[in-house]
Amino acid sequence: MTEWVLRSPADDFWGIAALVVGLAIAGFLGSFYFFYRKRIMEDTPTSRVRSAAQGYVELHGIGDLMQGPPIIAPLTGTTCTWYGYQVEEHRSSGKSSKWVTIDSGDSSELFLLVDDTGKCIIDPDGAGVTTTSKDVWHGNSKRPVGRPARNRSLFTSLAGGKYRYTERRMHPGEPLYAIGLFKTIGGTGGDFNLEADVRDLIKEWKQDSEALLTKFDKNRDGQIDMEEWQAVRDGALREVMARQREHQTAAPANVMSKTLDRRRPYMLSAIPQELLIGRFYRYAIGLILLFFICGTLGTWMISVRMGGN
């Protein structure tokens, strides 16, 4: 090893050294990522839907579908509460080959967390999702034909096909752990900011300039003058007030979504909290070992190389 470090071509040595140092950095950052999430989960008390405070909240319950069309996973056609999928193509170039992602996506449909006190609507956008169901199989078309075989042999998996399909899912009736921003929308307890809502609506209207001119450009000169801008603000105010009245008369709905604070991650899991904490702990320990091993090796390689020169 020492001889290789001293005598290997510069391009080969520094390429390997950069890889080792990169793994050390990735190990350090990854261990911090999982330790931090483990700590957040341990330090946030569990709430019930009915009595949960507004803000960053942890809930335990059962996943369920909302009324309306079911959520269907695109590769297997399975009814679920959430899915994530990936389609890869095996490509070869000379002696090298690799899997290249040609299609992927995550579910964005709303679903429910239900506990013994009530229901909370889950908006999965931006969440880190941990599932218990994962299917990986192969085929010869960009979209799979039929569902994956449940009793796949090792030979079948290795023989495979040109395309590899991966699908993760959470299902109705499964345990659901959620930690994120909890808020109650509608009802007499609704929280409204009139000025902010009017400002946001005007900003939305500005994105469609033709519709804005058609509605408010009374003198048809192709622009909104000061008097017409007052009409825009008055119209936005009337619409926002109407929306708020409608929300206040509607039954309140509990919603969980991502936070705007990066220090408070949004996580959904079909794995119970205590098992997820244990998994994150093992990941963190493994990554911190990777940091120490690769950091020590990289430091030794560079010191030997520089000292030998």
Beta strands at 163-170 and 133-139: parallel, antiparallel or unpaired:
antiparallel
Report whether 94 contacts 219 (CB < 8 A).
Answer: no
* CA-angle at 295, arms to 290 and 298, nearest 5°: 120
Q: CB under 8 Å to 247, separation ≥6 — which residues? A: 185, 186, 187, 190, 192
pTM of the model: 0.70
Closest by CA to 130, choosing from 43, 212, 63, is 63
Q: What separation in angstroms does the CA of 35 have from each of 30, 45, 265, 273, 276? A: 9, 18, 12, 14, 12
**Tell me, what's the pLDDT at 154?**
44
pLDDT at position 197: 82
Alpha-carbon separation of residue 196 from 181, 250, 263 (angstroms):
19, 21, 25
pLDDT mean for each 10 residues of the chain (309 residues):
80 88 94 92 91 93 92 94 95 85 92 93 93 92 77 49 92 95 73 75 85 84 81 85 71 86 92 90 94 92 80
**What is the distance between the alpha carbons of residues 108 and 129, in angstroms, rounded to a whole number?**
12
Cα distance between residue 202 and residue 271, in whole Å:
43
Please give the helix or strand (H or E) that residue 234 lies within, else none. helix 226-249
Residue 90: which H helix or E strand, with range? Answer: strand 82-93
Estimate to the nearest angstrom the gap between the alpha carbon of 292 and the chain centroid: 29
Is the four-CA dihedral 28, 34, 37, 43 of positive or negative sign? Answer: negative
Count CA atoms closer than 13 A to 218's CA, side-chain side.
Answer: 8
**Secondary structure of residue 89 in the 3-state scheme:** strand
E strands, 94-174, are 96-106, 111-115, 118-122, 128-130, 133-139, 163-170
Q: Return the structure tokens found at 287.
A: 């990554």
